Amino acid sequence: MTSRDGYNWTPSEGLQTGVPTIGKILPESNVSSNEKPYDVIVIGAGYCGLTAARNASLEGLQVLLLEGRDRIGGRSWSSNIQGYPFEMGGTWVHWGQSNTWREIMRYELHDQVEKSFNFEKGVKHFELNTPNGVTTMSHEQEDELLASALNKFTNIDGVYGRNTIPLPHDTFRTLGSADLDNISAKDRLNDIASILSPQERAVLEASILLASGGTLETTSFHEFMHWWAMCGYTYQGWLDMLITWKFKRGQSSFAIRFFQEALESKRLKYAFNSPVSHVRDNGKQVEVTTRDARKFQAAKVISAMPLNVLDRVTFDPPLSSGKQSALKIKHVNQTVKVHAELSNKDLRSWTGITYPHNELNYAIGDGTTPAGNTHIVCFGGQQNHIDPEVDISRTKRAVQSLFSAENYSNSHPAPAVERLVFHNWSKDEFAGGAWFFSPPGLLSNHLNDMRATHGNVVFANSDWALGWRSFIDGAIEEGERAALIVRRDLLGAKFDAPRL
């Protein structure tokens, strides 16, 4: 089944809109015309909404799940092109992400997790291309360079942030930690400029922008340190938890399990292709109106919509001033993520950074396609930003520019681009950008505002999770929190924790 989301380009077929995915849901709705009011309506079928809908339905509540897309997964979904998955959004998982790993074990998918990169055969090198020239090095040297740069950047207290952010799930508890949210990554780089080599500066800036999808000036230093703390305050943890392990069959093979289990409860109704326009809470019941004027009622609503598009829905009564301020600020991530299928199988063991002059800054060999080609995943950001579908020739050049000309010759030509696959998150009306990353001041001033319940409407999203904020794990964390709030309100004290 083909979703209307995403793009697929090949030399023979050109650019096609929409890609196959197992995450597309048919029939698009199981709602009848005479439905009674629900216990809870969940808006959004990303991992947060799926978790909330599943948990609430399993506890005995009658649930309606509304989704504007034709598929599940939100900002984390995978294609299924000729049986091969290309991850369109969130990709990597790790057992250090406890909510995610618990669900992996719940659905017995632990044997479906594989290593993303493979450095055993092929070129086995890292290419660093900057205005100062091109350097080719081993992956061991790559790790030494990145570890040195990241350690200098994060060593704010002599122990790489351990004293300043000792409890990553409660980062603003420690005196002085909130001050980190008032400075940008650029501010921190300026502070340590004298101890960074040119190569360290280049790979560090590229790594910061890979995480934030913003600019150095709009990247909160605190939020970067929060990621670092969640990864165990080490480069190896950063590598292991952020970019090493993924699903063999793609994220949608995971997300579909949440949806299927909720359906099995016989208490889930759903309607895809049903974007919401208005939410009205009269104090006793909430009415949700879709863009095509359908109206649904429930005792509670869980809004699982991302921060950057939440202001496209009208709420009555109006949201608090703190929420409205957060909606105006928004998060900064406008990452460009492009998958490329390349003709050279030896690039399976290749990684590269081309910065700051290329539209795509970072890439890594990420798999071997059924045709025997190398699949690389490439990332760009706001600097030299492109909309990949607008000019395919430019996008192809951005991919090919990741490979230094000096490493290729007539006998060993640069790889040909056989396929491009991507999703333009910046233009996505239900996302407004990629994963969450905050500008300075947003979280220290408005984290609690974003998390606050508004009458009978519970706001839940990975964008304001306490742990793996912006990750799949954070989405699951938030979905569980929202479902628990609703269950306690509707089903009573039997769900309260026992007194000790």
Which positions make up the binding site for substrate? 379
Q: How far apart are CA 237 and CA 154, in angstroms?
A: 14
How many Cα neighbours within 13 Å face the side chain of 367? Answer: 22
Q: Are 218 and 184 in contact (CB under 8 A)?
A: yes
Residues 6+ apart with CB under 8 A from 415: 342, 343, 344, 347, 374, 400, 403
Tokens of 333: 């991530």
**Alpha-carbon separation of residue 53 from 265, 266, 485 (angstroms):** 11, 12, 13
Three-state secondary-structure class, residue 365: strand
Strand duo 417-422 + 336-342: pairing: antiparallel
Tell me the two tokens of residue 335: 């990452």
Rounded to a whole number, what is the distance in angstroms from the first to the last CA of the chain? 52
Q: CA-CA-CA-CA torsion for 372, 88, 468, 259, nearest 10 degrees?
A: -100
Strand, coil or helix: what is 113? strand
CB 128 within 8 A of CB 202: yes
Q: Residue 408 and residue 344: Cα distance in Å, rounded?
A: 12
- In angstroms, rounded to a whole number, what is the distance separating the alpha carbons of residues 375 and 371? 10
Between CA 377 and CA 388, with CA 382 as vertex, the angle to 5 degrees is 50
Q: What are 80's two structure tokens?
A: 């299924």
Q: What is the DSSP letter of 19?
A: -
Q: Are 252 and 77 in contact (CB under 8 A)?
A: yes
Residue positions forming the annotated binding site: 276, 379
74 vs 434: CA distance, rounded Å? 10
DSSP for 185-214, written as a single string: HHHHHHHTGGG--HHHHHHHHHHHHHHHSS
Annotated binding-site residues for FAD read 276
Residue in 126, 128, 124, 97 with CA at minimum distance from that of residue 198 = 128
CA quadruple 285, 481, 313, 423: dihedral, nearest 10? -150
Across the beta sheet with 362-368, the strand order is 14-17, 7-10, 417-422, 336-342, 374-380, 362-368, 350-354, 125-130, 133-137
